[in-house]
Structure 1
Amino acid sequence: MNDTIVRFGYPATLIAEHEHWVVLLRPDQPTLGSLVLAAKAEATAFHALPPAAFAEMGAVVVSIERALKAAVDYAKINYLMLMMVDPHVHFHVIPRYDGERNAEGVTVGDAGWPKAPALGEAVSLDAARTDALVAWLKGHFAG
């Protein structure tokens, strides 16, 4: 796995793994269920991903959106490709909703709703809450 994936807590944050992508729990939760969709490739530019990664991405996005809809019943979903600190291709997947959502003892409001996500107001997870949310979300991906 590339350094960006490891920086986002892999393997402890791993929710789903595909041939070219991993889905990770985002360690800081601006909204409940926030994820990182990260390419396994060493690419640091979107265009540099192998064609097979683009082909697989559609199915991975469908699985993410179905799982998060079941988990947090989002109203909108944001995919942010920032890559300012972590250089390898990845997206921050932020489910958006009015109000708060809670699971496994973690409650997170969408402080930016209905505008841009308030990434700076994220709830930071400790190891126990990370483990609990990973297990909870894995259940939604399996279904």
Structure 2
Amino acid sequence: MPAAAPRFTGHGHAVTNPTARKFGYPRTKVAETAHWLVLVRPQQPTFGSLVLVCKEDAQAFSDVSPAAFADLKVAVSGIEDLLRRAVGYEKINYLMLMMVDTDVHFHVLPRYEGSREHGGRAFPDAGWPGQPQLASHVALDDDEAAALAADFAARWQA
């Protein structure tokens, strides 16, 4: 099977990946690797929740190219370093649900006991220490999501 081709590069090219657009790309972009986008999740079940979206035309994890699998290490290392410094998480969850948004992507949820504060708002982890509670979230408006993405982008080190 031939390797999946990138559906967009994100560098001034048209975005065709509906999952990236749904989660606010390009205004929510924190970082980009060769094969992955890191976006702020507008609905924050925990502070610092992100979406990691594959840029390839892949609707099954097995469709992701070997190059994208290797690049996943770069993206995950950058995410964990960023969230360790910005959030101080105790655990981190990567959820690959793909029930509604079929492009390969992960919801990345930093987990912690209690709450984190940001911008005068509390971000409790309602599910700690169990499963994350996605329905319990702080909804960021477009400006708040873009501001958090810009803050995280300035801290990104990968």
Bin of the TM-score, shorter chain as denominator length: over 0.9
2:81–2:157 contact (8 Å) kept in structure 1: no
1:3 CA drift (Å): 0.9
1:10 counterpart (25, 29, 46): 25
TM-score, length of structure 1 as denominator length:
0.95
Q: In the alignment, does 2:8 pair up with 1:23?
A: no
Give the residue type in structure 2 aligned to 1:23.
V
Gaps of 5+ in 2: 1-14
Q: Between the two proteins, what is the percent identity of the paired residues? A: 52
What secondary structure is seen at the aligned counterpart in 2 of 1:115? Answer: coil
User: Who is 1:108 aligned against?
Assistant: 123
1:106 CA drift (Å): 3.4
Query: Greater Rg, structure 1 or structure 2?
Result: 2
Moved over 3 A (4+): none
The Cα offsets for residues 95-136 of structure 1, whole Å up to 9 and x where unpaired, read as: 000011122333200000000000000111112211221122
The Cα offsets for residues 58-111 of structure 1, whole Å up to 9 and x where unpaired, read as: 111011000000001000000000000000000000000001112233320000
For residues 48 and 106 of structure 1, the distance between their equivalents in structure 2, rounded to whole angstroms, comes to 40
Higher helix share goes to which structure?
Answer: 1
Give the residue type in structure 2 aligned to 1:9.
G
CA-based RMSD: 1.2
Give the residue type in structure 1 aligned to 2:95.
L
Corresponding residue pairs, total:
143
User: Who is 2:60 aligned against?
Assistant: 45
Gaps of 5+ in 1: none
TM-score, length of structure 2 as denominator length:
0.87
1:104–1:129 contact (8 Å) kept in structure 2: no
